[in-house]
């Protein structure tokens, strides 16, 4: 709590608090700074009517003649006294009566600061005859482990010619020699890089695990009723029985069904869902694909299905708007089957629920299906340890600073907990639930909003609570340094890397396939799926007609996939994005070449490859027809340089419709060898006349890529 909050808590003026703090040599420069647990206890003691002082003073008389044992004890005594660089007066704290007028929340908040619960650790039980040596172990720590006095340890060290005090660090060799006198063996502690906590999973004991609510994400095509469904569920099932007029404070909330809670994440779309997966945050247990009965399975629906499948989580299909006269459930079922989700009614394994988000028909059945899948999935967590989870959304508020919406995935987050979120750190100043109410603890699967972070984290960042703020600050610093040094955008996999991955045990290669026609799609898909090299298979996580899009790159990054384009390509923006994500885009115009490259890659026999380097682009803005030469394309050079006889392709609506070379190039009436950016020119292509205004002409060269 802050200095102002503490003053209010103890019914005293801020000036009075400041006066007492100054007498205790505490910092009073910022009245909104947070007090530490020790400061709060010291302040409480200073307000007691009667105080008992216990003062320890060392005996200043030095004894000249004393034995080795006495000298060791004296060193231990002196080092203990000077532990904090000065001899402090300790004050005995007396019980204080609670103010009856204080709110329950303030009492709970104060209780958390003063009596922070020690969470259980998952350290393995060590053999009693084995000492675990930690880097920097002190004399006192060793004495505690051996259950002997510090003086005894100092005496033995002196016998070894080592002068040490209570807080001196000991080397592993020294501890190993000392342990022999106690029939102990010493083992070095194996430590993991705790700053890299998202890559480690703490194994909880079975008896500590309890059932947790499922986390559900709803995705689908625009205007198919996602928002209406979320609103209906929230209004009628909000946990705690809140009445109408509920205000959702954050982009996630909990509802209650048959006494059990369900957490819904309100994502802006499947792109955000996959972006979080790309950052390593698999937060969803169940995905609901919503499809309008009057509209059917749309392109965006298919994309949502691809993303949900790639996440490998259970899928429930929700057919909405069944109350409309034009609803056609059979058409939706057919579309789902074609997209790879065969309904249970048709002999498949996909749960399909028919609802009306407007009237509420079927919504209870949907919630029951969610609980059924959750029960089958046996979702569990351990509430008795420090919290871990992921960021759902974040923002900067001019009044309170960085604000983050978190999903608790394991453990319990408490008000005042030191926390690391991505590369940000801080102490949980405020903790609010989905309705904006102040709370003191947040159990697993609960979405909360917190403040107190040093900076604004990104959606998908992982977080972890720690014991001390000092530890959190150091870990955040280490993470920031590592992020700066590493290429964090590199998430994809190139074709050349396949063989190495296969040798490491990779059994499935993810591919995103985009083609110019449905016929090409089926032909290429069929050819790729037939490839089987040494038990490694190709998994096409998305196959669609059309140019390569930003959505394809995001999915590839999240799924460690290669993008293959057959007679299609991506825009410059898409290609730039692919480079940023480290995703390889392979384009082809002959099917057997696709198959050949994949087979060779899987066998580790890839021949030298050539990379297309675009040297210039031009947009066709006007057409001219001449009797002798036919159609001439009047172009404006938009980038690079266009040269006569260069390799060129014509791209129309992201589809490659021609691949060849420039036949002639002229400026006004003169034949020229090249034209640079921002100049107009006329050109003809070899064996091509089907120009249209708006077509893009890309000029490129093939550059051999060094391995």
Binding positions for GTP are: 220-227, 266-270, 320-323
Specify whether the CB–CB gap between 424 and 483 falls below 8 A: no
Q: Could you give the CA distance from residue 204 to residue 202 in angstroms, rounded to a whole number?
A: 6
Q: Could you give the CA distance from residue 599 to residue 576 in angstroms, rounded to a whole number?
A: 28
252-257 sheet: strands from edge to edge: 252-257, 260-265, 215-220, 286-292, 315-320, 351-354
Q: Could you give the CA distance from residue 190 to residue 656 in angstroms, rounded to a whole number?
A: 56
DSSP code, position 339: T
DSSP one-letter string for 187-212:
EE-----GGGGGG--PPPPGGG-EE-
Q: Could you give the CA distance from residue 585 to residue 562 in angstroms, rounded to a whole number?
A: 7
Nearest to 581, CA basis, from 318, 277, 354? 277
Q: Could you give the CA distance from residue 361 to residue 373 in angstroms, rounded to a whole number?
A: 20
Q: Could you give the CA distance from residue 387 to residue 382 in angstroms, rounded to a whole number?
A: 9
Distances (CA, A) of 229 to 321, 363, 546, 686: 10, 8, 31, 56
- Contacts of residue 284, defined as CB under 8 A and 6 or more positions apart, other chains included, come to 215, 216, 217, 265, 273, 311, 313
Q: Could you give the CA distance from residue 257 to residue 237 in angstroms, rounded to a whole number?
A: 7
Report CA torsion sign: 51, 52, 58, 61. Answer: positive
Query: Other C-beta atoms within 10 Å of 59: how many?
Result: 8
Alpha carbons within 13 A on the beta-carbon side of 223 = 4
Q: H or E stretch including 526?
A: helix 518-529
Q: Each residue of 476-503: b (16+ CB within 10 Å) or e?
A: bebbbeeeeeeeeeebbbebeebbeebe
Tokens of 303: 């994309």
Nearest to 308, CA basis, from 351, 281, 277? 277
Q: Could you give the CA distance from residue 368 to residue 262 in angstroms, rounded to a whole number?
A: 10
């Amino acid at each position: 709590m802050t200095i102002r909050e503490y003053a209010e808590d103890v019914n005293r003026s801020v000036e009075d608090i400041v006066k007492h703090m100054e007498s205790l040599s505490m910092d009073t420069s910022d009245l909104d700074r947070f007090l530490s647990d020790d400061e709060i206890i010291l302040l409480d003691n200073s307000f007691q009517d009667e105080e008992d002082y216990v003062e320890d003073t060392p005996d200043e008389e030095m004894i000249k003649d004393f034995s080795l044992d006495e000298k060791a004890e004296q060193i231990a005594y002196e080092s203990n006294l000077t532990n904090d660089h000065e001899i402090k007066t300790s004050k005995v704290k007396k019980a204080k009566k609670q103010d009856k007028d204080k709110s329950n929340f303030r009492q709970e908040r104060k209780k958390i600061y003063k009596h922070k619960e020690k969470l259980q650790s998952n350290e393995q039980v060590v053999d009693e005859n084995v000492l675990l040596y930690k880097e920097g172990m002190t004399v006192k720590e060793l004495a505690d482990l051996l259950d002997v006095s510090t003086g005894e340890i100092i005496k033995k060290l002196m016998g070894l010619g080592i002068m040490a005090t209570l807080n001196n660090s000991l080397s592993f060799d020294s501890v190993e020699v000392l342990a022999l006198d106690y029939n102990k063996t010493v083992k070095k502690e194996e430590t993991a890089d705790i700053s890299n906590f998202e890559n480690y999973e703490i194994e909880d004991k079975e008896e500590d695990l309890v059932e947790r609510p499922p986390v559900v994400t709803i995705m689908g095509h625009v205007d198919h009723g996602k928002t209406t469904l979320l609103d209906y569920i929230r209004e009628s099932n909000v946990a705690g029985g809140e009445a109408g007029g509920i205000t959702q404070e954050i982009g996630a909330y909990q509802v209650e069904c048959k006494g059990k809670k369900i957490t819904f994440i309100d994502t802006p779309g499947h792109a955000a869902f996959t972006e979080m997966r790309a950052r390593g945050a698999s937060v969803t247990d169940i995905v609901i694909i919503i499809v309008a009965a009057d509209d059917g399975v749309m392109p965006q629906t298919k994309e949502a299905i691809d993303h949900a499948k790639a996440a490998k989580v259970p899928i429930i299909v929700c057919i909405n708007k069944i109350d409309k006269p034009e609803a056609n459930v059979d058409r939706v079922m057919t579309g789902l089957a074609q997209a790879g989700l065969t309904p249970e009614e048709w002999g498949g394994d996909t749960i399909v629920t028919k609802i009306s988000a407007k009237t509420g028909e079927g919504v209870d059945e949907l919630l029951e299906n969610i609980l059924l899948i959750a029960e089958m999935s046996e979702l569990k967590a351990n509430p008795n340890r420090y919290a871990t989870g992921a960021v759902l959304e974040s923002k900067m508020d001019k009044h309170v600073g960085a604000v983050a919406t978190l999903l608790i995935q394991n453990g319990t987050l408490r008000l005042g907990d030191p926390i690391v979120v991505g590369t940000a750190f801080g102490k949980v100043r405020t903790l609010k639930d989905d309705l904006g109410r102040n709370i003191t603890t947040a159990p697993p699967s609960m979405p909360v909003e917190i403040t107190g972070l040093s900076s604004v984290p990104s959606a998908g960042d992982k977080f972890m609570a720690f014991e001390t703020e000092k530890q959190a600050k150091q870990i955040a610093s280490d993470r920031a340094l590592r992020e700066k040094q590493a290429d964090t955008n590199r998430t994809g996999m190139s074709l050349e890397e396949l063989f190495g991955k296969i040798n490491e045990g990779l059994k499935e290669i993810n591919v995103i396939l985009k083609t110019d026609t449905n016929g090409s799609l089926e032909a290429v898909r069929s050819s790729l799926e037939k490839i089987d090299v040494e038990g490694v298979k190709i998994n096409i996580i998305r196959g669609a007609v059309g140019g390569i899009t930003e959505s394809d790159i995001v999915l590839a990054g999240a799924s460690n996939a290669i993008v293959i384009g057959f007679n299609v390509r991506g825009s410059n923006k898409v290609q730039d994005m692919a480079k940023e994500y480290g995703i390889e885009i392979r384009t082809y115009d002959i099917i057997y070449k696709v198959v050949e490259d994949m087979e060779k890659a899987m066998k580790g026999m890839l021949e030298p490859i050539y990379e297309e380097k675009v040297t210039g682009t031009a947009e066709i803005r006007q057409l001219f027809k001449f009797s002798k030469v036919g159609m001439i394309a009047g172009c404006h050079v938009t980038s690079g340089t266009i040269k006569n006889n260069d390799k060129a392709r014509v791209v129309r609506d992201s589809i490659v419709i021609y691949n060849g070379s420039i036949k002639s190039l002229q400026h006004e009436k003169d034949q020229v060898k090249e034209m640079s950016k921002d100049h107009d020119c006329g050109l003809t292509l070899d064996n091509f006349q089907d120009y249209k205004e708006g077509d893009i002409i890309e000029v490129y060269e093939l550059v051999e890529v060094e391995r």
